[in-house]
């Protein structure tokens, strides 16, 4: 099977420190300064499935308004991927984890 | 000393802060973003190898100047980036920074909250790979990324050709630039647009550049669908000659002009009136930006006018604050600013006709199309709720019955289209459909954070 094609294509290089995060167990290589969403979309993963019907979603407005790019942290918190910078060692999930308390 | 708070560090907020600081005042400037500049004059992180001068083109000088002015201001400001104002209660702002809630009282509040894209839905618009037109520019300016390799630009906005030009220069293939407003409407709007010839010439030049590059530039299209299994594969539309055409692409940038982010103005007690040209409910302001005693509104967050108008209206609102605080205002400066703001906003009014919101196309969309992307509510569900005996006839009741507009985005995305669906069902105009009221928190926050306010 060929690897998934990335949605985003980087056209300007970053010189920041490398940051490695894990998303649903997969390793994502990013650079400090990347938004979580850009890191995910550059690496070709599916960002999330809608809670209502499960269709795939990958963000929309990229400016913190549409709220369509929320992913979950290992601690059960929700992270808006387009306005959250990556941090080395971040562990993220497309869906809330079983141990997560039910945040509203 | 009176506490003056400015919300939004785009051109309007920066210009206002500059004028207040010049009088020896020290305003608090709160911004949700990490770096000042707002959306249009967004500054990339310093490590990103992006030639902003090239990207900003004819606006490069203004972009550089604004950021330089902001740097100069910084020592005299109480600047609070990455801070969300999520509620306004009387004369208290509720803030969230780093997950911590706090409050900030104010005597004078200037809101310069900016704008976001106005979106018309179509089949397939929720597929991964469809982004707002503004989002496509954010991806580039903030992250140094293109939203795809082969991008279709759909909507009705002069920014379609501008963004396509930026994308092409950065190496993207442009599948098509498709505008729903007929070319004849653009010609008809020309007289009104001649009041700002520089902007007009720039717009025409972008169109010319697209044509010279062999990019299909279509006017008067009827969007049919964005196709794809689990991501964007093509944009299908009917062109002005009635032919169905399919443009293979892996991303779509969607934008029908901008709409002010008015939720905070609403919570701060502004009153609203329907604007038939923009087909939006907008906060009522006087000629200097006063919405009510102590509340001032400026920039694209109150009237779409572009960056130049935002800057002038921010400075003008600062003059109003100075006058109201008894510092006296500079009459000559005020008069010049008011004239500039009026002229630039009139130009945008002309643009709203040349790049029209496609209300008839939206009203004719099939029932199956998703209207609310937050909770996947279809146009058919809204129509069915309204068709019932004693069904709702106004957007807030429709929201209560169907949850359309109640999701996490609070109707930012679906609101304008919902208005047209409701207006069509009741046989009225946008004014009759009513206005979705703003609610706190204006953006989702964790309950734990809201409860932590001391």
A65 part of a folded domain: yes
What is the predicted pLDDT for the residue at B81? 97
Residues from chain A contacting residue B138 (CB–CB below 8 Å): 62-63, 82
Q: Which residues of chain A have pLDDT under 50?
A: 1, 100, 103-104
Tokens coding B424? 């069509």
Element containing residue B164 per DSSP (H, E) = helix B159-169
Task: Give the domain extent around A60.
Answer: 18-93
A70 part of a folded domain: yes
Determine, for residues A35 and B49 on separate chains, whether the beta-carbon distance falls below 8 Å: no
Percent of chain B with pLDDT over 70: 99
Q: At what angle do helices B60-73 and B306-324 cross, to 10 degrees?
A: 30
A2 part of a folded domain: no
Collapsing DSSP to helix, strand or coil, B187 comes out as: helix
ipTM of the prediction? 0.93
For domain B359-433, is the CATH number 1.20.140?
Answer: no
What is the predicted pLDDT for the residue at A104? 46
Q: For residue B82, give how far its alpha carbon lies from the nearest alpha carbon of chain A (Å).
A: 10
pLDDT digits (tens, 9 = 90+) for B85-136: 999 999 999 999 988 999 999 999 999 999 999 999 999 999 999 999 999 9
pLDDT digits (tens, 9 = 90+) for B352-375: 888 999 999 999 999 999 999 999
**Searching chain B, which residue's CA lies closest to the CA of residue A6?**
B148
What is the predicted pLDDT for the residue at A4? 61
What is the predicted pLDDT for the residue at B36? 95
Collapsing DSSP to helix, strand or coil, B218 comes out as: strand
What is the predicted pLDDT for the residue at A3? 52
Q: For residue A31, give how far its alpha carbon lies from the nearest alpha carbon of chain B (Å).
A: 10
Examine the pLDDT at B452 and tell me if it is beyond 70: no
Q: Which of A38, A41, A57, A66 to mutate to test the interface with B (most CBs of B within 10 A)?
A: A66
For domain B4-116+259-351, is the CATH number 3.50.50.60?
Answer: yes
Length of chain A as a residue count: 104
With bands split at pLDDT 50, 70 and 90, how would you rate the model's confidence at B57? confident
Determine, for residues A55 and B139 on separate chains, whether the beta-carbon distance falls below 8 Å: no
A40 part of a folded domain: yes
- The string of DSSP codes covering B50-118 is --HHHHHGGGHHHHHHHHHHHHHHGGGSEEE-SEEEEEEETTEEEEEETTEEEEEE-SEEEE---EEE-
List residues bridging with B281 in a β-sheet: B274
Q: Is the minimum CB–CB distance between A68 and chain B shorter than 8 Å?
A: yes
Q: Is the minimum CB–CB distance between A15 and chain B shorter than 8 Å?
A: yes
Residues from chain A contacting residue B376 (CB–CB below 8 Å): 50, 52-53, 55
A13 part of a folded domain: no
With bands split at pLDDT 50, 70 and 90, how would you rate the model's confidence at B239? very high
A6 part of a folded domain: no
Determine, for residues A9 and B407 on separate chains, whether the beta-carbon distance falls below 8 Å: no
Q: Which residue has the tokens 């290089």?
A: A13
Farthest-apart Cα atoms in chain B, separation: 66
Identical fold, B119-256 and B359-433: no
Determine, for residues A104 and B446 on separate chains, whether the beta-carbon distance falls below 8 Å: yes
The residues spanned by each domain of chain B are 4-116+259-351, 119-256, 359-433
Q: For residue A41, give how far its alpha carbon lies from the nearest alpha carbon of chain B (Å).
A: 9
Number of other CB atoms surrounding residue B424 within 10 Å: 19
Among B129, B135, B230, the residue with its CB nearest the CB of A61 is: B135
Residues near B367 by beta carbon (within 8 Å), at least 6 away in sequence: B378, B379, B380, B383
pLDDT digits (tens, 9 = 90+) for B168-227: 999 999 999 999 999 998 888 877 777 777 777 777 788 888 888 889 999 999 999 999
What is the predicted pLDDT for the residue at B310? 97
Tokens coding B41? 């004059």
Residues from chain B contacting residue A19 (CB–CB below 8 Å): none
- CB-hemisphere CA count at 13 Å for A72? 20
Determine, for residues B145 and A10 on separate chains, whether the beta-carbon distance falls below 8 Å: yes
CATH number at residue A68: 3.10.20.740
Is A64 within 8 Å of B32 (Cβ atoms)?
Answer: yes
With bands split at pLDDT 50, 70 and 90, how would you rate the model's confidence at B286? very high
If one counts the domains in chain A, the total is: 1
Summary mean pLDDT of chain B: 94
Report, as an integer, the average pLDDT of B236-261.
97
Is B198 within 8 Å of B59 (Cβ atoms)?
Answer: no
Rounded CA separation B383/A103 (Å):
32
With bands split at pLDDT 50, 70 and 90, how would you rate the model's confidence at B453? low
Determine, for residues B231 and A7 on separate chains, whether the beta-carbon distance falls below 8 Å: yes
Question: In this structure, which topology does domain B119-256 adopt according to CATH?
Answer: FAD/NAD(P)-binding domain (3.50.50)
If one compares B417 and B187, the residue with the highest pLDDT of the two is B417
Rounded CA separation B326/B153 (Å):
50
A11 part of a folded domain: no
Rounded CA separation B386/B426 (Å):
9
């Amino acid at each position: 099977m060929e690897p998934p094609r990335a949605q985003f294509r980087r056209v300007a290089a970053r010189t920041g420190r490398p940051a490695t995060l894990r998303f649903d167990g997969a390793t994502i290589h990013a650079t400090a300064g990347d938004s979580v969403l850009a890191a995910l979309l550059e690496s070709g993963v599916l960002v999330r499935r809608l809670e209502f019907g499960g269709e795939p979603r990958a963000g929309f407005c990229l400016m913190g308004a549409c709220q369509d790019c929320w992913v979950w942290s290992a601690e059960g918190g929700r992270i808006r991927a387009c306005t959250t910078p990556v941090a080395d060692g971040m562990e993220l999930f497309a869906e809330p984890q079983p141990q997560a308390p039910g945040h509203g | 000393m009176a506490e003056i708070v400015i919300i939004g560090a785009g051109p309007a907020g920066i210009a206002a802060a500059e004028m207040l600081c010049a009088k020896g005042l020290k305003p608090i400037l709160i911004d949700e973003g990490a770096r000042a500049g707002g959306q249009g004059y967004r500054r990339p992180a310093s490590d990103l190898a992006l030639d902003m001068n090239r990207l900003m083109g004819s606006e490069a000088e203004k972009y550089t100047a604004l950021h330089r002015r902001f740097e100069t201001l910084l020592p005299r400001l109480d600047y609070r980036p990455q801070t969300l104002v999520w509620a306004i209660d009387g004369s208290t702002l509720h803030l969230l920074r780093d997950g911590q809630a706090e409050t900030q009282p104010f005597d004078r509040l200037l809101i310069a909250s900016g704008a976001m894209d106005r979106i018309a839905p179509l089949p397939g618009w929720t597929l991964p790979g469809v982004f707002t037109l503004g989002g496509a520019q954010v991806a580039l300016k903030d992250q140094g990324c293109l939203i795809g390799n082969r991008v279709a630009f759909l909507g009705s906005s002069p920014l379609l050709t501008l963004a396509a030009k930026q994308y092409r220069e950065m190496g993207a293939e442009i599948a098509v630039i498709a505008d729903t407003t007929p070319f004849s409407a653009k010609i008809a709007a020309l007289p009104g647009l001649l009041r700002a010839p520089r902007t007009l010439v720039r717009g025409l030049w972008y169109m010319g550049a697209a044509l010279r590059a062999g990019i299909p530039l279509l006017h008067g299209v009827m969007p049919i669908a964005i196709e794809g299994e689990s991501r964007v594969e093509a944009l299908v539309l009917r062109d002005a000659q009635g032919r169905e055409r399919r443009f293979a692409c892996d991303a779509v940038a969607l934008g029908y002009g901008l709409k002010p982010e008015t939720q905070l103005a609403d919570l701060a007690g502004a009153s609203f009136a329907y604007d038939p040209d923009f087909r939006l409910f907008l906060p009522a302001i006087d000629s200097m930006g006063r919405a009510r005693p102590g509340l001032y509104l400026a920039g694209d967050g109150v009237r779409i006018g572009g960056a130049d108008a935002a800057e002038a209206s921010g400075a003008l609102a600062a003059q109003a604050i100075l006058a109201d605080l008894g510092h006296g205002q500079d009459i000559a400066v005020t008069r010049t600013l008011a004239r500039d703001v009026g002229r630039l906003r009139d130009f945008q009014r002309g643009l709203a006709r040349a790049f029209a919101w496609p209300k008839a196309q939206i009203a004719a969309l099939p029932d199956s199309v998703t209207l609310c992307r937050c909770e996947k509510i279809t146009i058919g569900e809204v129509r069915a709720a309204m068709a019932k005996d004693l069904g709702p006839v106004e957007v807030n009741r429709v929201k209560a019955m169907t949850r359309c507009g109640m999701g996490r985005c609070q109707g930012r995305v679906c609101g304008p289209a919902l208005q047209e669906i409701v207006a069509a069902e009741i046989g009225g105009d946008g004014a009759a459909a009513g206005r979705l009221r703003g609610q706190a928190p204006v953006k989702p926050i964790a309950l734990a954070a809201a409860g932590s306010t001391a």
